[in-house]
Amino acid sequence: MKKTKIVFVLALCVLLFSCVDKKKKSGTVQEIRTESNTDTTWRLVWSDEFNQETLDTLNWNFQVEKAGRFNEEWQRYTNSSENAYVENNQLVIRALHETKQHGTDQYTSARLHTANKMSWKYGKISARIKLPVGKGIWPAFWMLGNSIDENGGDTPWPQCGEVDVLELYGSKDPAVVEANIHYANEENKHEMMGAIAYQLKTANFSEDFHVFEFEWDEERFVWSVDGTDYASVAITSEDMSEFHKEFFLLLNIAVGGSHAGRPDDTTPFPQYMYVDWIRIYKKV
């Protein structure tokens, strides 16, 4: 009787430890705060840990666009699992070169967003990302105002507002990311903060994951990489009213474009952007 009892208890312990291990990256609030955010002034309100076998369509949309739709970029944005998928508990965005030619419509990639599904006003946006690198490659993690007309709203760009949490221009320096914002000034014309750069001391952003964070409240935006603040801007002026409304998230790899330069035979393909997790916090 005692021996049977001991065996039962041991089996139960093994089962419990097994369950704990399987839930290590389960996405619960308590676990995520313990793993990534020890600052108790922040409370996790949303995350995607990319634990499912496929991209969670309750959170994300594939934006399908023809080549040249934005910034004279060369890629098509597709809804193909060849261009965006989940693997090893990470979101993978993959840019492909489909021919031996360089030019418009010779490449495919993915542009994912949370429009009409998930949006936020104020808080901290945090993501652990490993970026692609190569001449003419332009990855970005960014935000647009919910009201933008390309997703069913009634407001054109830049009046809707845009926040670039990070952009990397492969034709510049692969160890540099940039922060920026775009909006409409008092004359209703395009205005921006102007890109502010953060440079790694060693290596480049394609060699490892880094944590990119963006803090947003009623008065200011602040950008950081791996816990180091490097850019900030006040948003209290009247012409920045768009930054006091809800915004949604976007992730993409652009190929070429009027700001990013053009790929050539030195640019390796496929190009990969890996996203380990994205987490949104609010002040407690």
Distance set, CA 85 to CA 22, 91, 92, 112, 213 (Å): 21, 6, 5, 11, 23
Share of the chain above pLDDT 70, in %: 86
What pLDDT does 20 receive?
Answer: 37
Lookup: tokens for 64: 């399908």
pLDDT band at 121 (very low <50, low <70, confident <90, very high): very high
Catalytic residue among 162, 178, 213, 242: 162
Give residue 165's pLDDT band: very low, low, confident or very high (50, 70, 90). very high
Q: Is 35 a catalytic residue?
A: no
The SS3 of residue 15 is helix
Q: Give the CA distances from residue 76 to residues 62, 115, 120, 129, 141, in Å, rounded to whole numbers and listed in that order.
A: 12, 20, 28, 23, 18
Out of 49, 167, 178, 215, pick the active-site residue: 167
Q: How confident is the model at residue 37 (pLDDT cuts 50, 70, 90)?
A: low
pLDDT, tens digit, 9 for 90 and up, residues 223-263: 999 999 999 999 999 999 999 999 999 999 999 999 899 99
Give pTM, 2 decimals: 0.87
Mean pLDDT for all residues in the chain? 89
Is 191 marked active-site? no
Q: What is the pLDDT of residues 177-223, one digit of tens each?
A: 999 999 999 999 999 999 999 999 988 999 999 999 999 999 999 99
Q: Annotate 53-101 with DSSP letters as a single string.
A: SS--TTT-EE--B-TTTTTTB-EEE---TTTEEEETTEEEEEEEE-SS-
